[in-house]
Amino acid sequence: MATHDFLLGPVLSFRGIGADGTWKVSALIGLKEGAAVPTLLLEGKACAAPRQLLVIRKERYLRYDLSCAMKKTERRVEYGVQGGPTWHFTVPGRDLAPRLAYVSCNGFSDPAGMRRLVRPANTVWADLLASHDKSLRGGMLLDKEQLWHEVRIHDKGLQRFQLLLMGGDQIYFDSIWEDLPELKHWVSLSRAEQLKFSVSATLDRKIEAYYFTLYARRWLPEKRRPWGAAEPNRDAADALARIPTLMMWDDHDIFDGWGSYSPEMQRSPLFRCLFRHARRAFWVFQMQHALDDLPELEDATPPGFSSQDPIYRPVAWSQRLAQDPLALPLLDGQPGFTSAFQAGPLALVVADLRTERSRTQVLGTDSWTQLKAWLGKLDAKAPPKNPGTRVQHLLFMSSVPVVHPKLSAAEALLDNLGQDHVLDSSADDLRDHWSHDDHEGERKRLLEVLSETARSKGLRVSLVSGDVHVAAWGIAYRRDLPASEARAQIQQFTSSAVVHPSLMGVAERLFLGLLNASAGSPQHLDAHSSVEMMLFPGHNRYVMPARNWLALELDEGSDRPKLWATWRCETETAFSNHLQTVAPA
C-alpha cells in the first residue's frame, strides 16, 4: 500500500517494559475508511493485524504492535510498510536507562506570531533529528556538542534517542474559536449568555469532528513531501515516526487556559462539551487507546458538599484495560491519565495536570494518593549480582514549571481585571503556574513528596517541564539540611518551545525583563523549603528566549551515573548548547 494514502502516522508510542523484558512500542496509522489495511514489517517479519482504535467520518485509525526484545546491548530496529518506506528506532540495552529528548509546544496559538520567525517553523525539529539520526542530516554541519556523540552512538549505526518526551501542547486547538462560526459568535456574547449557552446536537457533532480531524491535518500536513521521498521533511512527523513517544496533555491540547477559568465557566455546557471531545481525541491520538475503552468522567462530589474543584470517580485502569496488552501503565485509582515507568536505573512519572485542574486545584485527592503509593513502592535496592540496575534517578514530568519566577504584582493585576476571556491568555497563563498563590499549597506538597522520596529511597529527583516558551533552569531545596546532602536538592529543566515562537514582540520583551528581574529573588515556600531560579547555563540571564529542545541522558556503564541535561537553543544562524549535570545521590 502506498503511504501517500496515510491520513496520519506512523506515530510511535512507548508502552513500557514487559515482564519478559520486551520493549513495548506501538505505531498509530490513519487511513480512509475504505483503504486497504497495510502490512507492517518489524525486523523483516510481518506484524500482527492492527487493532482498530477509532472510526469517524470515513476515517479509521489503527494501532500496530512493534514490541521487540531487549538485549544486553542497545540495537537499531527497522520497521516499515510492506513494499514501501522503512523507518528505524533504537532499543536500549537491558537494564540500561534510555536516552531521552524532551519537547513541548509543537504548534502555535497565533499565526501572526509564526510570521515573525527568522527561521522556518520546523528548524528546531530539524536540529533534533540531525542530532538523533545520521541519515537525516543532509548537508548540515555538526558543532562540537553534536560531534561528541559520533563515536559512542552514530558510528555504531545507532540513533541518539530511545524515547521522546512530549510535555504538552502537542497540538493547539485555540483555532476552534475562529473556525467554528457558532463558537466565534459565542465569544461575542455577554458572560451571562455564555454561561447559559446551549450546545445543540449539530454543534456537538461539529466540535467532535474538529477535535478528531485536526490531528491528521497538523501531524501529517498535506503539503509535506510523501514518505519515501529522496529528501526527508525533518519535521514533527519525521520525529514521531522515528522515536517512541510519551505524551501528556496541557491546556492547548484542549484549548488555551483550560482549568484556569472560573468554576461557573468550567462547568458551563459549552466548556463541558469541548473538554469531553478533547479528552476523547487525546485518548486515541496521544495515548493510542481504543475509544471504546475510555470511560466517561463521573462526578463524585459528595451529596451536600460544595466545591469549586472537580471531584471525579476514580478509575481502576488495570481492570478497564486488562484485555489490552499494549495498555499504558496508568496509575490505578485515579480519574486522570498519570502514568509511571521504570527502565533500568531511571524511573519516570508522566503527570496529568489537566483532568482535575481548577483555579485552586492541580491534582485531586485520589491522584495524590496513588502517586504517593507508586513512589513508595519504588525499589532502590540493587540485586546482589547486578548493582548497576537499582533505580537511581526519578524524573517527574510536569507540563507547567514547578520552579519559575513569581509575578505577584502581575497576578494581582490580572486577577482584578477580569476573567473568562478565552481569547486573552495572559491571565490564565499566570493562573496555570504552580507558583500562583492559588496553587502554592499544592506546590509545597509536590516538592515535599518528591523530597521525601529522594531521601527515603536514596534517589536523585529531577523535574522536566515546558509551557512557558523559554528555556530555564531552577532548583528546589531544603534549607534545614546541609548543602552536602545532594538529595535535598531537586533540579528543574524547562524546555519550551519546539515550534511556538519565543518571546519576540515588544510587549513580550517587556515581560521578559520582568521575568528576569523577578527571577533574581529566591522564593521561600515555608520554614524549610525554597525554590530558586539559576542563571541559565552559558547565559547571563535566568531565562533564555529562544525555541529549543532538551536532551536528558544518564551516564552509561557507571554504578553511580550522572544525569546530563543539554539544551539546544535556536539562534539566528545556528544553535547554542547549554549543559548542566545532576550528580548521583
Whether 507 has a pLDDT exceeding 80, the answer reads: no
pLDDT at 418: 56
Distance between CA atoms of residues 492 and 473, nearest Å: 6
pLDDT at 2: 59
Q: Which three cell numbers stand for residue 492?
A: 528543574
Whether 424 has a pLDDT exceeding 90, the answer reads: no
Q: Could you tell me the end-to-end alpha-carbon distance of the chain, in angstroms, rounded to an integer?
A: 52
For the segment 17-36, the average pLDDT, to the nearest whole number, is 95
Whether 498 has a pLDDT exceeding 60, the answer reads: yes
For the segment 90-99, the average pLDDT, to the nearest whole number, is 96
% of the chain at pLDDT higher than 70: 92
Distance between CA atoms of residues 493 and 104, nearest Å: 12
Query: Where is pLDDT greater, at 446 or 114?
Result: 446
Distance between CA atoms of residues 52 and 62, nearest Å: 5
pLDDT at 429: 67
For the segment 233-241, the average pLDDT, to the nearest whole number, is 96
Tell how far CA 30 is from the center of its chain. Answer: 22
pLDDT-derived band at 110 (thresholds 50, 70, 90) equals: confident
∠ Cα 99 101 104 (to 5°):
155
pLDDT at 177: 96
Beta bridge partners of 58: none
Whether 67 has a pLDDT exceeding 80, the answer reads: yes
For the segment 23-39, the average pLDDT, to the nearest whole number, is 95
For the segment 519-532, the average pLDDT, to the nearest whole number, is 91
pLDDT-derived band at 383 (thresholds 50, 70, 90) equals: low
Among 76-80, 377-381, 517-521, the range scoring the smallest mean pLDDT is: 377-381
For the segment 228-236, the average pLDDT, to the nearest whole number, is 92
Whether 387 has a pLDDT exceeding 70, the answer reads: no
Amino acid at 414: L
How does pLDDT run across 176-189, given as a tens digit for each residue? 999 999 999 999 99
Q: How many CB atoms lie within 10 A of CB 200?
A: 9
pLDDT at 508: 75
For 97, 103, 450, 524, the CA distances from 486, given in Å and listed in that order, are 21, 27, 13, 19
Closest among 17, 23, 91, 101 to 564, alpha carbons compared: 101
pLDDT-derived band at 305 (thresholds 50, 70, 90) equals: confident
Longest dimension (CA), the chain: 69
pLDDT at 585: 82
For the segment 282-310, the average pLDDT, to the nearest whole number, is 94
At 133, give phi and psi (nearest 5°). Answer: -135, 120
3-state SS class at 350:
strand
For 205-226, give one letter per residue: b (16+ CB within 10 A) or e. Answer: ebbbebbbbbbbebbbeeeeee
Q: Which three cell numbers stand for residue 371?
A: 502517586
Q: How many CB atoms lie within 10 A of CB 475?
A: 17
For the segment 32-42, the average pLDDT, to the nearest whole number, is 93
% of the chain at pLDDT higher than 90: 77
Among 350-359, 461-470, 495-504, 544-553, the range scoring the smallest mean pLDDT is: 495-504
Amino acid at 48: A
Supply the mean pLDDT for the chain.
91
Please check whether residue 392 is in contact with residue 561, taking contact to mean a CB–CB distance below 8 angstroms: yes
For 188, 191, 271, 420, the CA distances from 199, given in Å and listed in that order, are 16, 16, 10, 18
Distance between CA atoms of residues 317 and 130, nearest Å: 38
Closest among 174, 172, 175, 132 to 153, alpha carbons compared: 132
Query: Where is pLDDT greater, at 141 or 115?
Result: 141
pLDDT-derived band at 112 (thresholds 50, 70, 90) equals: low
Whether 108 has a pLDDT exceeding 90, the answer reads: no
Residue with cell 496529568: 352
At 438, give phi and psi (nearest 5°). Answer: -70, -20
For the segment 103-118, the average pLDDT, to the nearest whole number, is 80
pLDDT at 425: 56
Write the DSSP assignment of 216-270 as a string of letters: HHHHS-TTSPPTT-SS---SHHHHHHHS-EEE---GGGTSTTTT-S-HHHHTSHH
Segment of 110-119, 238-247, 296-305, 400-409 carrying the highest mean pLDDT: 238-247
3-state SS class at 212:
helix
pLDDT at 197: 97
Distance between CA atoms of residues 441 and 421, nearest Å: 26
Closest among 247, 260, 322 to 288, alpha carbons compared: 247
Distance between CA atoms of residues 233 and 284, nearest Å: 25
Whether 277 has a pLDDT exceeding 70, the answer reads: yes
Q: How many CB atoms lie within 10 A of CB 355?
A: 22
* Secondary structure of 87-100 as H, E, C letters: EEEEECCCCCCCCE
How does pLDDT run across 470-486, given as a tens digit for each residue? 999 999 999 888 766 75
pLDDT at 386: 57
DSSP label at 24?
E
pLDDT at 481: 82
pLDDT at 34: 85
Q: Which three cell numbers stand for residue 39?
A: 502490512
pLDDT at 427: 54
